[in-house]
Amino acid sequence: MPGDITPEQERQIRDFVEAKLKDADIAHGFDHVEYVVNMARKIALREGADLKIVIPAAYLHDLVSRGEVESFDLHTGESVALGERFLGDMGFSNAEIEEETSECWVTTQPTVYVS
């Protein structure tokens, strides 16, 4: 495995996202994020991906609710910007943040189901 996220890092990210989404729309609340994180972890482990990149991106992909922005298509960009600041404050490197940012944009693509 290229990299791993520590339990403490994941807890910090999870707590931040859960607090941010406490009033989110019903379709993109924290239960949605947990589903995305679980699926991302499953795929990452199967493919040998870097969990330190994939897991934060999965948590942060819908950080800004669609109701907080002027139009539906802006929420991913706003989520990325807020996530970048948060991960920078946590001590993630610029390279890690850039990779996580690209992973957040991937979540706007069609859904892939893994059995």
pLDDT tens-digit map of 8-51 = 999 999 999 999 888 776 667 788 899 999 999 999 999 999 99
Prediction pTM value? 0.79
Which string of DSSP letters, residue by residue, matches 58-83? HHHTT-S-GGGSSSGGGHHHHHHHHH
Residue 99 lies in domain: 7-106
Could you tell me if residue 94 is inside a domain? yes
Q: Determine, yes or no, domain membership for 113.
A: no
Q: Is residue 2 part of a domain?
A: no
| pLDDT band per the 50, 70, 90 thresholds, residue 72 | low
Q: How far is CA 2 from CA 48, 50, 98, in A?
A: 7, 5, 16
Number of domains in the chain: 1
- 72 within some domain: yes
Question: Do 14 and 59 touch, CB atoms closer than 8 A?
Answer: yes
- Does 69 have pLDDT greater than 60? yes
CATH code for the domain of 67: 1.10.3210.10
The answer to whether residue 35 is domain-embedded is yes
Residue 88 lies in a domain: yes
Residue 22: inside a domain, yes or no?
yes
